[in-house]
Amino acid sequence: MALMATQPTCRKPRPRGAASAPAAQAIQDLEFIRETLRNAGSFTAVPGWGAVALGATALAAAWLAAPRAGTRAWLWVWLGEAALAAAIGAVAMARKARATGTPLLSGPGRKFLVSCLPAMVAGALLTVVLERAGLQGLLPAVWLLLYGAAVVSGGAQSVEAVPVMGLSFMFLGAAALFSPAAWGDGFMAAGFGGLHLIFGGVIARKYGG
């Protein structure tokens, strides 16, 4: 009897994957939570110093375009500025995203870009239509309004200064819409130049670069 009592109890071997299944599920849950938080977060890669650079180039464009108001050369000056601004913005945003570890094409970054796109496309189409109709004087108001709308929409995914900047652009665009066409370059300088300089400085100081 004593011999039987001291014999070790025979246990069945545990399947190799049984112990790791809860751990694997926990890892999957953590990845899901991390991805959800990433998608729900704010897009912080809006470049402050990039916006300052956009403001500086817009002021130069306004100075070049003003004497050419009402001509095709005026339009080309501003289209050239738009292309330059797009390049500066893309490079600055990519650099800040890389520095902050913020993905550009997933999560909040994708939402930011997709939210901006409809108003930008509408602006491009209206530029063609208004130019063909001989209504070039309306372009500053349309550009400011739709750029502001794009920034407000994208700003819902970003820091609080961005939608405020978009609303400021829309305010200037509305004022330009009911002002003499000769004031168009002044509104463009105030918006694409002044607002970018002001809000770019705020974003750079409060949220980094």
pLDDT at residue 195 above 90? yes
- For CA atoms 136, 70, 77, 200, give the dihedral sign: negative
pLDDT at residue 103 above 90? no
Q: Which residues pair with 43 in a beta bridge?
A: 158
In the structure encoding, which two tokens stand for residue 97, read together?
A: 């995203």
Please give the residue that has the higher pLDDT: either 27 or 187: 187
- For CA atoms 147, 152, 153, 154, give the dihedral sign: positive
Q: What is the pLDDT of residue 18?
A: 46
Q: Maximum CA pair distance of the chain?
A: 113
Alpha-helical (H) ranges within 7-71 are: 20-40, 48-65
pLDDT at residue 141 above 90? yes
HEC profile of 79-145: HHHHHHHHHHHHHHHHHHHHHHCCCCCCCHHHHHHHHHHHHHHHHHHHHHHHHHCCCHHHHHHHHHH
pLDDT at residue 44 above 90? no
Length of the chain: 209
State the average pLDDT for the chain: 81
What are the residues whose beta carbons fall under 8 Å from the beta carbon of 169, sequence distance 6 or more?
A: 144, 145, 147, 148, 151, 191, 195
In the structure encoding, which two tokens stand for residue 50, read together?
A: 């990039």
State pTM to two decimals.
Answer: 0.76
The mean-pLDDT minimum among 7-16, 103-112, 195-204 falls in 7-16
Q: What is the mean pLDDT of residues 138-156?
A: 92
- Considering only CA atoms, which of 104, 120, 116, 119 is closest in space to residue 43? 104
